[in-house]
Structure 1
């Protein structure tokens, strides 16, 4: 719950608590807060036990954390051996690479002769024509006009 609070923040909170409640009332306040948290945990544990006893013996391994959809799916994908193909497909699919390739194509960059090298349209030459440009009768390429109503 408080995993992202550092030592400096804890010291600042302690000093603030000393200034607000004073050194004589602070120990009693800490005892009251800890007693309150303990009662809430006991109430939660009793409620979980009551639900488990009402569900019956077939749900003895039921965990309330499994009610979170992300946790449930992660657990099912990890335990099911039939879903190995999905895991292999997921590991082979690199969305960032695909997005970068599409973004480069939209910006007018094309892949050069060397694998993985990115070159502009002038460096690519006639080997990789820009498909967004229409062919000019003289042999050159001209970009078609943009029609905002068509899109």
Structure 2
């Protein structure tokens, strides 16, 4: 979220001390602390209100599974392809019925499809 390393944080603190001054810095630090406490309390209240309004059936939901940052398209495709283990693939069915007969039938149907569909022609093309 905020990518600040130790050196950058030190520079920010030194600039704050120089710009704000040592006499007003404790007041601003106290205001920042109260702001962080209010934000934390607001988030806790919001979470408890959402839990109350959704009801007990959503207590067991693992929200981290719904995080869009954890989706990997390659993994999703791999899992989808692995889920087809129950139904045999068309190539496996052709092999089970006889490899030569299946490939001959596939060739015949593809030749029939080519003959039935005319090639696209654009008379306005150059």
Partner Cα distance (1:87, 1:23) in 2: 62
SS of residue in 1 equivalent to 2:25 = helix
Structure 2 partner of 1:39: 38
Following superposition of structure 1 onto structure 2, how do residues 1-150 of structure 1 map, counting pairs within 5 Å? Answer: 1-2=1-2, 4-62=3-61, 68-71=67-70, 73=71, 86=79
Partner Cα distance (1:9, 1:63) in 2: 36
Instruction: Provide Cα deviations, 1:45-92, integer angstroms capped at 9, x if missing partner.
Output: 101111111111111124555554334x57xx8xxxxx8x52887xxx
5+ long unaligned stretches in structure 2: 83-124
Partner Cα distance (2:43, 2:27) in 1: 25
With structure 1 as the length reference, what TM-score do the two structures score?
A: 0.44
Partner Cα distance (1:49, 1:40) in 2: 14
Q: Which structure is higher in helix share?
A: 2
- Structure 1 stretches (4+) deviating beyond 2 angstroms? 61-71
Residues 86 and 66 (structure 1), Cα distance of their counterparts in 2 relative to 1, 3 Å cut: closer
Q: What's the CA shift for 1:40?
A: 1.2
Partner Cα distance (1:25, 1:6) in 2: 26
Partner Cα distance (2:39, 2:30) in 1: 14
Root-mean-square deviation (CA, aligned residues, Å) is 3.2
5+ long unaligned stretches in structure 1: 78-82, 90-148
Q: Which structure is higher in strand share?
A: 1
Q: How many residues align?
A: 82
SS of residue in 2 equivalent to 1:58 = helix
